[in-house]
Structure 1
């Protein structure tokens, strides 16, 4: 476990000494379209959640209306903020209606996971989780308290959709949910998991770059060092070697944007916030910085969450600030950062849980080629048949006939989407479009 800096530790102690931990369980809008609240998943560990009900919801017809549980990456990045206001929620970061909100197709449940992320908090630093499995246990506890005894929620199948490091959380909590349901401890319909540009197998994401032959040779040497460290269980060492690899690729590629390899970092204000960090000494913190950057030139997500959103919610404890403990969350999970979760995906498939994988083709940090590589490491009995079928081209609308937007390959309960023109998060040239 990486230790937090002295400054962070002092800030944490000062925060805890001033806190008044009177936590209201839940609240919501008068029309019932939104609910939010806290669940104490362990003594003195509080997880924040926010549910939106779709105006298009209907329970008529053969297919029940679904609920999507969105899990953000990082670890330590806030789904309540990033996934909600920057990606799929009903409002964008300017609090304007989003045309492409997923609320058109499902109810949306955002959670600040793990505890310490976003509005979630712990009253003692030692209560922060140190593994993906521990995070899954907390999240399953939250779902038990939300779903058990609530028949209305139980009617809607739950799909876990994750991005980046959130994919590791999705794989581990997917297993925890399945086991809890089977044991009669959790009452919900589990629809499956979707892993978007997910950090499932870090070693498979180290062989890609924008380099010439000479630089590629040196890059490959560093990549092999990372793979050997992972094989030896040296996960902390491999994380910092990965940071050295990123530095090398940046220096030899005129600062490629790791979240869209068609861009330079200078072309993307979000990526620029990462690459200009002094020395990029700690790549994990740099990644957190990226995810916590401004949504646009005129919107500061931290000011949004600690201002208008905090005022709307009304139940955030007086001295809890959004994102206050997020760096600590990352530090405590540092030993799990480079651990693969292929085994967990394999187990989900063997249990006949639906697993959807989707990847933006111009993502570099979790590149599609790396995702294809870890899928080939699955021991799932259906893999050979999956490999032998052809992909199906995908189109967005009849107006774009002939313009391919992606590909799909699907066999039994494994579904793989190749999304053309998209990076780690989205293609910002088409952001917020239908």
Structure 2
């Protein structure tokens, strides 16, 4: 049963249309009467409609010298919804019971959630041919959306934008970052670009698949037989990637993940300390081996909520009712499987060159990883960072780490090190979903990334169902 949020009635109050609040939109836009939330659609291409949702922080401080930042959150998948998962399950103002989240990232920034690429979440296409087929096409659509949001609004232009990504979202983030740099330099986009943060990001699939077997063998989740099976498929994936057979590599990745799950007796791909049925966010539905891998990573939408419902019911029920502008014939997540299939040829392509280019351009790049993640294991992340050609990588390697603390208990919660515009965070005790597993240290990290000014005292309520 869905509970009321902040005492507000579930029968929703009339919404104030904000067609001119953030510039002139050709598409529907709406928001709350107090202006704390705005949402809408942007037609980024013919027949391709992208949904966005912006929250303005009640903790906002703007002292001029340290402007209040905006975080653009990019979910992974491909096909996972930032408006749903990132918002209600990870960092937004309300949790899946529609209660205030104590660890919301609104304490440090305004939050912009986008259902990216088109076809994800509430975003939709009128023709399957309009789905993106590459990370660069996704970046072009996101750039078009940001032009619509930022170019006509001086208030947003004063706020530095930080692109924070999770999982496959990291591949979107680096291609988007390059697109933003070019658009800003060309005078096509009025935006202060603060940098990108790559959280447990699928930047180099080859390095991740080679990390799974040895890591799980050391953890006693695989024996020597399981390790040999895993490494054999990983070698096949390497050969396919090197020969440009990316679609075949995607199929082999699915095969490898199924072998890992079977040989380990269902280790959770998002937290290797757990069995998959124990993870609070990842998909729990048991299916045929290929379907397990494809659907788990493509959507991870099947988690049960404390209220007894599921995320799909929440987003297609009360939330769709609140937003009002979602077309009646479109459902949240209705096209998500199509998104993954359309990107099948790009899924296993590495994006190391893009990270190098961002670093060489002077863009701030932060990499953070949960200690107990498996799908994007720290072992794999460290391996691809060592492959970067940017000259500062060797300096980063020789730099000593600084421990991270939180909660005032004196316990080590992580480590960090930096060299120039490259920063790395190791988050202890966290799996794939760092803000969920370690909310305190995630907020601390966010504050350091965005250099957020000290937050003002503000009411706990940052959002409601009004």
> What are the within-5 Å matches in structure 2 for residues 382-393 of structure 1?
382-393=392-403
Higher alpha-carbon deviation: 238-247 or 115-124: 238-247
Distance in 2 (alpha carbons) for counterparts of 1:272 and 1:44:
30
Partner secondary structure for residue 35 of structure 1: strand
Cα pair 2:301 2:311 within 8 Å, conserved:
no
Equivalent in 281, 294, 317 of residue 307 of structure 1: 317
Deviates more, 1:419-428 or 1:220-229: 419-428
Match of 1:108 among 100, 104, 111: 111
Identify the residue that residue 92 of structure 2 maps to in structure 1: 89
Structure-1 residue corresponding to 2:6? none
**Residue 269 of structure 2: which of 247, 250, 258 is its match?**
258
The residue that corresponds to 1:376 in the other structure is 386
The answer to whether 1:53 aligns with 2:64 is no
Deviates more, 1:90-99 or 1:297-306: 297-306
Q: Give the counterpart of 1:407 among 402, 415, 418.
A: 415
Please state if 1:335 is matched with 2:338.
no
Does 2:426 match 1:418?
Answer: yes
Structure 1: gaps of 5 or more residues: 1-22
Name the residue aligned to 1:13: none
For 1:325, the equivalent position in structure 2 comes to 335
- Please state how far the C-alpha of 1:388 moved relative to its aligned partner: 0.9
Q: Secondary structure at the match of 1:178?
A: helix
Q: Secondary structure at the match of 2:330?
A: coil
**Is the CA contact 2:406–2:440 (under 8 Å) kept in the aligned structure 1?**
no
**Structure 2 unaligned regions, length at least 5:** 1-25, 217-221, 444-466
Kept after mapping to 2: 8 A contact 1:79/1:111 = yes
Structure-to-structure mapping, 1:92-241, within 5 angstroms: 92-207=95-210, 208-209=212-213, 210=216, 211-241=222-252
Q: For 2:95, what is the secondary structure of its paired residue?
A: coil
Task: Name which structure has the greater RCO, CA cutoff 8 Å, separation 6+.
Answer: 2
Cα distance, 1:30 vs structure 2: 0.7
Deviation at 1:319, TM superposition (A): 1.2
Is this contact kept in 1: 2:90–2:436, CA < 8 A? no
Matched pairs, number: 409
Tell me which moved more, 379-388 or 178-187. Answer: 379-388
> Residue deviations 1:238-270, cap 9 Å, x none?
111112111222222121111100111233365
Distance 2:107 2:308 in 1: 27
- Helix, strand or coil at the partner of 1:356: strand
1:289 Cα deviation from its structure 2 partner: 4.2
Equivalent pair of 1:277/1:286 in contact (CA under 8 Å): no
Distance (Å, rounded) in 2 between the aligned partners of 1:259 and 1:43: 37
Q: 1:51, 1:105 → 2: CA distance?
A: 14
Among 255, 259, 273, the alignment partner of 2:284 is 273
Structure 1 length-normalised TM = 0.91
Q: Mean alpha-carbon deviation: is it higher for 297-306 or for 113-122? A: 297-306
CA separation of 1:346 and 1:384: change in aligned 2, threshold 3 A = same
Instruction: Say which SS state the counterpart of residue 52 (structure 2) adopts.
Output: strand
